[in-house]
Amino acid sequence: MSRRTLHTLSVLVENRAGVLARVAGLFARRGYNIESLAVAPTDDDRFSRITVVVDVELTPIEQMVKQLNKLVNVVKITELEPRASIERELCMVTLSVDRDRRNEVLELAQIFEARILAVAHTAMTVSLEGEPDKIDDFEELVRPFGIIELQRTGRIALAKLERSPARSRSTNKAKAS
Which residues, 22 to 41, sit near other proteins by CB under 8 A? 22, 25, 29
- Contact of 48 with 82, CB cutoff 8 Å: no
Kindly state whether residue 4 participates in binding other proteins, applying the rule CB under 8 A: no
Kindly state whether residue 82 participates in binding other proteins, applying the rule CB under 8 A: no
The count of chain residues that interact with other proteins, using the rule CB under 8 A, is 27
The region of 33-41, 57-65, 140-148, 152-160 touching other proteins under the rule CB under 8 A is: 57-65
The region of 35-43, 67-75, 117-125, 138-146 touching other proteins under the rule CB under 8 A is: 67-75
Rg value, the chain, Cα: 19
Secondary structure of residue 137 in the 3-state scheme: helix
Q: What are phi and psi of 28, to 5 degrees?
A: -65, -50
Alpha carbon distance 81, 105 (integer Å): 34
- Contact of 160 with 84, CB cutoff 8 Å: yes
Kindly state whether residue 63 participates in binding other proteins, applying the rule CB under 8 A: yes
- Pick the binder of other proteins from 17, 58, 120, 161 (CB under 8 A): 17
Secondary structure of residue 155 in the 3-state scheme: coil
Nearest to 89 by CA among 133, 35, 43: 133
Which H helix or E strand runs over 116?
A: strand 115-119
Kindly state whether residue 176 participates in binding other proteins, applying the rule CB under 8 A: yes
Kindly state whether residue 58 participates in binding other proteins, applying the rule CB under 8 A: no
Q: Minimum distance from CB of 75 to other proteins (Å)?
A: 4
The site for other proteins (CB under 8 A) is made up of 13-14, 17-18, 21-22, 25, 29, 60, 62-63, 66-67, 69-76, 172-177
